[in-house]
Amino acid sequence: MKEKEKCTPCEANFERNIEHLVKEGEAPTSKQRHEKEREVKAAFEESKPKK
């Protein structure tokens, strides 16, 4: 296995862009994203046919 490589400039720019979007309110925060993921999973669990 290779050791973890350092971030490339593109990856660093990507992270900065994501942080900027979050600060501008155009993207959900990680807390909001996790809450939505739980909602979606719960909805799918409810719609699955019971065995």
Each residue of 4-38: pLDDT tens digit? 566 677 777 887 887 787 777 777 778 888 999 99
Distance of alpha carbon 34 from alpha carbon 28, whole angstroms: 10
Assigned token pair, 10: 């593109």
Burial of 6 (0-12, 13-18, 19+ CB in 10 A): exposed
Q: What is the pLDDT of residue 38?
A: 93
Record the pTM. Answer: 0.41
